[in-house]
């Protein structure tokens, strides 16, 4: 048997968590270093997967298969295909940079890093498993620590409310997912949770597909987040510590889109066809409404939160077009948006550590005293508003192409968000970073060299995948092609 | 009539009902415990009667009966101990006033 | 890939490499960064000159090279390089002006602590602009188009500590972005209809491929919306005057010579496409001329030298766009070429003055005195002004006449007269500025501050004046390339036309008269010792108010943003918080909570009631069992 690299991607963070548990709470530096090394190794492994994945064959690779409960058809199956590989890399980048960004946390360091890495492990599991039972298991693992991370280490007076709401909405969604998975299992009658076999053999009648798709749409939609279940997201971002926001917006939200692409669409193509218009309508709300609402925000993280709502709407919009280009765009947007929001939140976090406020109206002229933090936020803003040369431009271009082709008018309405995004991002840059410095902030120092490393990593990734999108797009396309074939639009 | 199954069952039913009513209407924990013992005894009697008249006096039934008596003793001990502790803690053994579990 | 295209690719990527080098290695060192950036653009310039030398008589056969950027579904999104006379000419302008601005900035930006950043952004701009210029497809054009917009944002906001600069940067980006919305939609419609077509096919759409004319009208108008934003056409022109908050070399490079001309270049590049729709052409011509008139009138009352030049830029861009819309392809491109030189020259002169006097206001400059002592700056400024006003034999004269001739030849006499009016106004406001600057110094001033004068008496350093001289040379002579005296070189170069167009004496005389009238009028009102220092436009109160307030366009935008967009966002936010979150999400939470409260009466903590309930349920089950 070959080197089980995927299992190691799960095991390394798990061991890291265990090692952290053995540390004394006072050994803060040791805990940080252990986390950094652990996630660093994971990042290297993920890069190895990204590089070694055979781009001539595609399909599921690095397969590992261990029977778990054969009686019920549960197997421990890990395997990555074109869709998972970029997302595994994204998650590895997000957790590695997240660990570095949270270096300044002093409160209960041990528990913080434990939960953070535990969460990332769950996300890795979701992206890599090919078994529905384990999918559900990892899904819960990924969602659960979020409550503690926000409620304990968060900021703001209503962080408990935010954490509570976030967890409840996500569990509300995951209940639907769980029900859907069990129903899938039962209705297929194959006595297996093996996703690959289900994809190959399962036949669902049209009405069943329709009902099941609705379940998955509600379930995954709540984490995407789709309008009107989005309100947990800006609030959750705003209250979470930077690294948690990064993982949360960067990766956790992608579980929704991933779930749709991984489970719902290949198994239930008819269902998508039934619900595509609804999905398109909701995604319109996300895109336009989210963008306009972002203008009115005073808290920078709220603004970014609503911009996430807007940009994740692109994922749903792309899926709802049911064309190959749209699916490509949706998948690419998940990847690109993950990098952008991670950059947003880490740069805001760098500033917040010093100013202890994120209110745009209270700040101003920050670029004079913290040029680096300002520069990286502006860069994130430029990437976020779809500047060519950065990854989100590619994603938006693909989604818009598909959107205009499929739903001409609605596609054009979606393009409006491009202008609105430019408006709120630049307005924020102007009012927060540019202009004269509020005397209150004189004497603050810029972020350190160490703080800059994660930001640079994210910028490089955004730039590389923006200039040379085929690096990721070819991978994604190898999978979305199958989806489009199932949808009959290839 | 005197030694028929029916009369034993009648007696055990009487004991169980007596116990139940006692448990439900009395508010004193000790009395409730005694009533529970009554239910237990009624059930034991029921078991023995069925053992005698239906299965023809197999040893298993008698063993179970003895087992129940032994368990009852243990259970009573624990329950009494709990009641003692409750009293010591709350100065109260009226079940109506011990309603901390109220939602 | 042919030899020419390889050179083109090298020229395009040279500034990009400089950007990367500065960003990664030398951002700490000002000198090194400046050196790298200048070296990079010098490489591009040299390559362009080599290309030009190899194709002295114009590029006979258009050369194109593509590579695939990404492939999705049936779309192969390709990038590449195009090489023809138009792109060669534009490359020459971009590299030349950019190189001079790079050099000029050493002096102008001397001592600025963000110099490395400044040169990085200049490299970014040069790269993006070249990517745009050599793009063979509309998609790549959009790519470069957006990137130059971003570079423009960064450079306008270079002194971000100034609130005005920050606001201007945002305004410039958002307003052009609003235009780009149209461009993007048009591009998307073309993409989904025809795939990623190149300009050659695009130009054939209307004529040979029989595409529905109304489709072409719609898409071309959408794309023109982007051009209105980037080339500052009414009503999306309001960002350009504000953009003068940026460093002056930036204004010269981006907001005079190159980026704002991108729209004109795009129309020229896709001329077949635009001209396939008569309505679009008419629309373009009208918008351009309207812009030209509006901007020229606003320029009459400006006191900031850079604002005068900004409005004159808008006005001249309007002329180019208008003449392209009116069917004068060569005239539009020719004016773009000449304008790039003399407007960059004017801006750099203004920069030299501003650097010297530390103010933008022409009256203050005049008051401080010493303009006459800055010999090189003054001479080149007058040369630039003569070129802009269109006096024989300076560059603007020939290109403006070409515009008038083009309108007359296409039967648009009305437009030709409008150009006359614009050129009168141009001559007037340009020389208003010159005469104000030259106004005799107050006697006491000179005597009183002798030492001060001496200090002020010198001109700007050589790294600033040499670019001025080089541009001035072009501003004087570049106009001749379109005359029979040089064998109609420009026609041959751009269009490959062999026959030589004769001179239009009538037009030349008419326009000279108009221009001299304008200069004379300006002298009458502002010149010498007798001028009353009050322009004719300032005499009528309401006209002055209208012009000073720039026709209230800015106020209109302010009203739209403050009165419409932000309230709308606030209302949406309120809906989101109150209706969706508090009512919807919290409401459903509360529903669960209260239903729990309601059921909790069962949980009363009474032991016996629990027991009674369970016994009752048990009995009920037994009863049911019996029934079955």
Q: How far apart are CA A186 and CA A206, in angstroms?
A: 16
User: Residue A461 has what pLDDT?
Assistant: 92
- What are the pLDDT digits (tens) for A125-147? 999 999 999 999 999 888 888 88
Q: What is the phi/psi pair of residue A433, to 5°? A: -100, -35
Give A69's DSSP letter.
E
pLDDT more than 70, % of chain C: 95
Q: How far apart are CA C73 and CA A463, in angstroms?
A: 24
- Taking CB atoms and an 8 Å limit, are A415 and C189 in contact across chains? no
User: Residue C246 has what pLDDT?
Assistant: 87
Q: How far apart are CA C569 and CA C563, in angstroms?
A: 11
Dihedral angle sign, alpha carbons of residues C539, C543, C545, C549: negative
Helix (H) or strand (E) holding C407: helix C395-409
pLDDT more than 90, % of chain A: 37
Tokens of A178: 């769980």
CA angle centred on C515, ends C510 and C517, rounded to 5°: 95
The answer to whether residue A224 scores a pLDDT higher than 80 is yes
pLDDT band for C447, please (50, 70, 90 cuts): very low
Q: Which residues of A340-355 are buried (b: 16+ CB within 10 A; e: fewer)?
A: bbbbbbbbbbbbbbbb
For the complex shown, is ipTM > 0.85?
Answer: yes
- What are the pLDDT digits (tens) for C208-235? 777 788 888 999 999 999 999 999 998 8
User: Residue B103 has what pLDDT?
Assistant: 53
Tokens of A204: 């669902």
- Taking CB atoms and an 8 Å limit, are C192 and A404 in contact across chains? yes
H/E/C letters for each residue in A451-490?
Answer: HHHHHHHHHHHHHHHHHCCHHHHHHHHHHHHHHHHHHCCC
Q: What is the mean pLDDT of chain C?
A: 86
H/E/C letters for each residue in C533-592?
Answer: CCCHHHCCHHHHHHHHCHHHHHHHHHHHHHHHHHHHHHHHHHHHHHHHHHHHHHHHHHHH
Q: Which of C602, C605, C611 sits opposite B24 (nearest CB)?
A: C611
- Interface check A469 vs C, CB under 8 A: yes
Q: How many CB atoms neighbour CB C520 within 10 A? A: 14
The answer to whether residue B102 scores a pLDDT higher than 90 is no
Q: What is the phi/psi pair of residue C131, to 5°? A: -60, -40
In chain B, what residues touch C606 (CB-CB under 8 Å)?
95-96, 99
- Taking CB atoms and an 8 Å limit, are C606 and B95 in contact across chains? yes
Q: What is the mean pLDDT of chain B?
A: 86
Q: How far apart are CA C347 and CA A316, in angstroms?
A: 49
User: Residue A142 has what pLDDT?
Assistant: 87
Q: Number of A:C CB contacts under 8 A?
A: 141
pLDDT band for A186, please (50, 70, 90 cuts): confident
- What are the pLDDT digits (tens) for C574-608? 988 888 888 888 888 888 888 888 877 777 777 77
- Taking CB atoms and an 8 Å limit, are C566 and A295 in contact across chains? yes
Q: How far apart are CA A248 and CA A246, in angstroms?
A: 5
Give A64's DSSP letter.
E
The answer to whether residue C620 scores a pLDDT higher than 80 is yes
Q: How far apart are CA A128 and CA A79, in angstroms?
A: 6
> Which residue, among A222, A384, A435, A449, would best test binding to C if mutated, counting the most C CBs under 10 Å from its CB?
A435
User: Residue C531 has what pLDDT?
Assistant: 63
Contacts of A300 (CB under 8 A, 6+ apart): A348, A358, A359, A360, A428, A432
Q: What is the phi/psi pair of residue B75, to 5°? A: -65, -40
In chain C, what residues touch A293 (CB-CB under 8 Å)?
569, 572-573, 576
CA distance C619 to chain B (A): 13
pLDDT band for C451, please (50, 70, 90 cuts): very low
The answer to whether residue C455 scores a pLDDT higher than 70 is no
Q: How far apart are CA C80 and CA C85, in angstroms?
A: 17
Average pLDDT over residues A247-251: 87
- Interface check C150 vs A, CB under 8 A: yes
Q: CA-nearest residue of chain B to C598?
A: B103
Using a 10 angstrom Cβ sphere, with 0-12 exposed, 13-18 middle and 19 or more buried, the burial of residue C39 is: middle
- Taking CB atoms and an 8 Å limit, are C605 and B101 in contact across chains? yes
């Amino acid at each position: 048997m070959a080197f089980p690299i995927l299992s190691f991607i799960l095991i390394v963070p798990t061991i890291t968590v265990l090692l952290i548990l053995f540390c004394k709470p006072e050994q803060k530096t040791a805990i940080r270093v252990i986390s950094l090394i652990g996630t660093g190794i994971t990042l290297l492994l993920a890069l190895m997967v990204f590089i070694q994945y055979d781009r001539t064959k595609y399909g599921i690779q690095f397969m590992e298969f261990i029977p778990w409960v054969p009686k019920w058809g549960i197997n421990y199956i890990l395997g990555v295909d074109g869709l998972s590989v970029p997302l595994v890399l994204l998650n590895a980048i997000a957790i590695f940079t997240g660990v570095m960004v949270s270096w300044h946390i002093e409160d209960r360091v041990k528990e913080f890093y434990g939960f953070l890495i535990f969460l990332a492990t769950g996300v890795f599991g979701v992206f890599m498993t090919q078994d529905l039972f384990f999918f559900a298991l990892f899904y819960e693992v990924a969602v659960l620590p979020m409550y503690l991370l926000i409620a304990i280490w968060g900021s703001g007076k209503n962080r408990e409310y935010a954490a509570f709401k976030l967890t409840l909405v996500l569990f509300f969604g995951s209940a639907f997912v769980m029900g859907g998975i069990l129903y899938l299992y039962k209705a297929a009658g194959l006595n297996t949770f093996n996703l690959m076999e289900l994809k190959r053999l399962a036949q669902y009648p049209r009405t069943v597909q329709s009902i099941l798709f609705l379940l998955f749409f509600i379930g995954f939609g709540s984490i995407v987040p789709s309008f009107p279940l989005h309100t947990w997201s800006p609030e959750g971002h705003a209250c979470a510590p930077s690294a948690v926001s990064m993982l949360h917006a960067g990766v956790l939200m992608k579980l929704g889109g991933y779930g749709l692409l991984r489970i719902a669409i290949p198994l239930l193509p008819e269902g998508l066809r039934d619900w595509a218009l609804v999905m398109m309508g909701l995604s319109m709300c996300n895109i336009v409404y989210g963008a306009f609402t972002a203008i009115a925000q005073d808290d920078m993280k709220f603004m970014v939160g609503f911009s996430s709502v807007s940009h994740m709407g692109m994922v749903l919009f792309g899926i709802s077009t049911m064309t190959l280009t749209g699916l490509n765009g949706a998948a690419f947007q998940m990847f690109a948006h993950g990098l952008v929001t991670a950059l947003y939140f880490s740069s805001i976090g760098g500033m917040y550590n010093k100013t202890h406020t994120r209110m745009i109206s209270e700040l101003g002229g920050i670029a004079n005293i913290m040029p680096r933090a300002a520069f990286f936020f502006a860069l994130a803003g430029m990437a976020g508003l779809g500047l060519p040369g950065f990854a989100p431009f590619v994603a938006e271009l693909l989604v818009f192409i598909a959107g205009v082709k499929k739903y001409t008018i609605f596609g054009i309405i979606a393009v409006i968000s491009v202008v609105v995004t430019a408006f709120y991002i630049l307005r924020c840059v102007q009012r927060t970073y540019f202009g004269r410095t509020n005397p209150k902030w004189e004497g603050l120092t810029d972020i350190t060299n160490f703080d800059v490393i994660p930001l640079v990593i994210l910028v490089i990734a955004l730039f590389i995948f923006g200039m040379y999108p085929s690096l990721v797009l070819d991978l994604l396309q190898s999978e979305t092609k199958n989806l489009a074939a199932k949808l009959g639009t290839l | 009539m005197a030694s028929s199954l029916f009369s034993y069952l009648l007696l055990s039913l009487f004991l169980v009902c007596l116990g139940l009513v006692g448990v439900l209407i009395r508010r004193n924990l000790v009395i409730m415990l005694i009533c529970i013992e009554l239910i237990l005894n009624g059930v034991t009697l029921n078991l023995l009667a069925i053992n005698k008249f239906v299965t023809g006096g197999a040893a298993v039934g008698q063993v179970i009966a003895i087992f129940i008596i032994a368990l009852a003793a243990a259970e009573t001990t624990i329950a009494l101990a709990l009641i003692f502790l409750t009293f010591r803690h709350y100065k109260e053994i009226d079940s109506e006033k011990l309603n901390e579990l109220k939602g | 890939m042919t030899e020419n295209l390889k050179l083109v690719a090298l020229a395009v990527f040279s500034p990009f490499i400089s950007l990367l080098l500065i960003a990664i290695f030398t951002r700490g060192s000002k000198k090194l960064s400046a050196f790298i950036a200048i070296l990079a653009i010098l490489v591009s310039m040299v390559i362009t000159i080599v290309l030009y030398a190899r194709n002295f008589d114009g590029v006979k056969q258009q050369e194109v090279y593509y590579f695939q950027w990404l492939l999705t579904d049936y779309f192969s999104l390709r990038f590449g390089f195009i090489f023809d006379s138009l792109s060669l000419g534009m490359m020459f302008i971009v590299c030349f002006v950019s190189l001079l601005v790079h050099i000029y900035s050493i002096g102008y930006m001397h001592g600025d602590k963000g110099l490395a950043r400044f040169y990085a952004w200049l490299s970014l701009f040069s790269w993006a602009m070249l990517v745009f210029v050599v793009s063979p497809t509309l998609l790549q054009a959009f790519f470069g188009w957006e990137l130059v917009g971003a570079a423009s944002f960064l450079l306008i906001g270079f002194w971000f500590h100034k609130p005005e600069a920050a606001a201007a940067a945002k305004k410039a980006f958002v307003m052009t972005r609003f235009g780009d919305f149209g461009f993007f939609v048009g591009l998307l419609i073309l993409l989904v209809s025809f795939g990623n077509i190149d300009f050659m096919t695009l130009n054939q759409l209307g004529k040979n491929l029989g595409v529905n004319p109304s489709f072409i009208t719609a898409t071309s108008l959408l794309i023109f919306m982007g051009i209105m934003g980037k080339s500052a056409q009414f009503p999306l022109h309001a960002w350009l005057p504000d953009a003068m908050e940026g460093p002056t070399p930036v204004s010269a490079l981006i907001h005079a010579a190159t980026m704002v001309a991108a729209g004109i270049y795009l129309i020229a590049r896709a001329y077949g496409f635009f001209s396939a729709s008569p309505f679009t052409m008419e629309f373009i011509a009208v918008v351009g001329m309207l812009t030209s008139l509006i901007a020229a009138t606003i320029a009459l009352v400006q006191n900031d030298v850079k604002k005068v030049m900004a409005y004159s830029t808008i006005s001249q861009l309007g002329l180019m766009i208008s003449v392209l819309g009116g069917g004068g392809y060569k005239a539009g491109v020719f004016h773009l070429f000449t304008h790039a030189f003399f407007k960059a020259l004017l801006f750099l002169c203004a920069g030299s003055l501003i650097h010297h006097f530390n103010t933008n206001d022409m009256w203050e400059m005049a008051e401080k005195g010493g303009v006459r002592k800055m010999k090189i700056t003054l001479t080149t400024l007058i040369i630039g002004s003569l070129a802009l006003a269109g006096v024989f034999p300076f560059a603007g004269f020939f290109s403006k006449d070409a515009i008038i001739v083009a309108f007359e030849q296409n039967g648009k006499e009305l437009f030709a007269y409008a150009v006359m009016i614009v050129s009168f106004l141009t001559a007037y406001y340009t020389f208003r500025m010159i005469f104000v600057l030259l106004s005799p110094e107050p006697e006491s001033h000179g005597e009183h501050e002798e030492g001060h004068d001496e200090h002020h008496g010198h001109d700007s350093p050589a790294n600033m004046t040499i670019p001025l001289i080089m541009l001035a040379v072009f501003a004087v002579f570049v106009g001749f390339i379109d005359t029979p005296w040089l064998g109609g070189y420009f026609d041959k170069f751009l269009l490959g036309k062999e026959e030589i167009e004769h001179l239009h004496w009538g037009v030349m005389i008419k326009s000279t008269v108009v221009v001299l009238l304008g200069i004379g009028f300006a002298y009458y009102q502002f010149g010498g010792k007798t001028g009353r220092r009050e322009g004719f436009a300032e005499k009528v109160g309401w006209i002055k108010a209208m012009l000073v307030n720039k026709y209230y366009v800015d106020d209109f935008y302010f009203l739209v943003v403050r009165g419409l967009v932000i309230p709308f966002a606030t209302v949406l936010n309120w809906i989101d918080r109150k209706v969706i979150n508090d009512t919807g999400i919290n409401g459903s939470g509360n529903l669960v909570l209260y239903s729990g409260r309601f059921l909790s009466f069962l949980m009363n903590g009474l032991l016996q009631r629990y027991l009674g309930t369970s016994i009752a349920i048990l009995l009920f089950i037994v009863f049911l069992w019996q029934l079955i």
